[in-house]
Amino acid sequence: MDSKEMISEAKLELENIDMVIDVKHNPVISAFISLMKEMPFIGDLIDDSLESVLSDFQSKKQQKLLEVIGQASLGTVTSDMVNDVEFIMGFAKTKNAVDKLSNGDKVKFYGNLLVNGYLNDKDKISVDEFDEYLELINSLSYRELEYLSFFKEYSNKYKGRLVYQNWAEFSREFRNKFPNKHVHSVFKRLQRTGLINEVMETEAVEEDTPSLDIGYAGFEVDPELSRFNEMVLKNI
């Protein structure tokens, strides 16, 4: 399929509020249904109603995406924005990502990216940046996105840097909001995103030797997190 055909297809999906995937034409789901039908005792319970359930599940996720876009962009969207080729292609990519979700939790973040990236009259997102942020949303769990949002909001009070006493206070607040989580381990893993950085402290072990004792003091915001926050983590 060339780019013109992809744009035409995306336009049709934008115009179709009832966007429901035809699972009969999805080879993966068709193969799954066929396999289930062959299983003793279970096969007799599987019929075409399963396809309806799967379609309905996809439709609900897609409808939620439309609701996020509609609510966040109410009164700000122009016809030029919606007919923009980059927005249309971005919508197609986003819809494809939403279709792959196991539940609808992350839909709001995908919707935010579309709205904040394309449906605003200020700072339009580039194609590369959109793709990078889309991939970040894909790679992170809903809870991890919440962790980043919580860190960004809390760290605003301390110019994006939570170390020593401020990190200790943040850790207590974090455990209250997200029980049974080891705070340092959570944010150590999230360093892979490039959106936060660990702050290390060094001090001499002995006064007369060059040996250093290295430990962590907390975490700080990478400048990229501010942009990701504006595009993904918060509504406009």
* Percentage of the chain modeled with pLDDT above 70: 64
Q: Residues 81-103: what's their mean pLDDT?
A: 84
Reported CATH class of domain 143-233: mainly alpha
pLDDT of residue 205: 47
pLDDT-based confidence at 225, cuts 50/70/90?
very high
Domain with CATH 1.10.10 in the chain: 143-233
pLDDT tens figures, 15-64? 553 443 344 444 544 554 455 455 454 455 445 555 555 567 777 887 78
Q: Residues 139-146: what's their mean pLDDT?
A: 96
Q: Residues 147-171: what's their mean pLDDT?
A: 95
Judge whether residue 100 has pLDDT over 60.
yes
pLDDT of residue 8: 66
pLDDT-based confidence at 3, cuts 50/70/90?
low
Query: DSSP secondary structure string, the chain?
Result: --HHHHHHHHHHHHH-TT----GGG-HHHHHHHHHHHTSTTTGGG-STHHHHHHHHHHHHHHHHHHHHHHHHTTTT--HHHHT-HHHHHHHHHHHHHHHT-SSSTTHHHHHHHHHHHHSSSS-PPPHHHHHHHHHHHHHS-HHHHHHHHHHHHHHGGGTTEEETHHHHHHHHHHHHHSTT--HHHHHHHHGGGTSEEEEEEEEESSTTS--EEEEEEEEEE-HHHHHHIIIIIS--
Q: Residues 88-112: what's their mean pLDDT?
A: 89
pLDDT of residue 102: 82
Q: Residues 91-97: what's their mean pLDDT?
A: 89
Q: Between 134 and 54, where is the model more confident?
A: 134
Mean pLDDT of the chain: 78
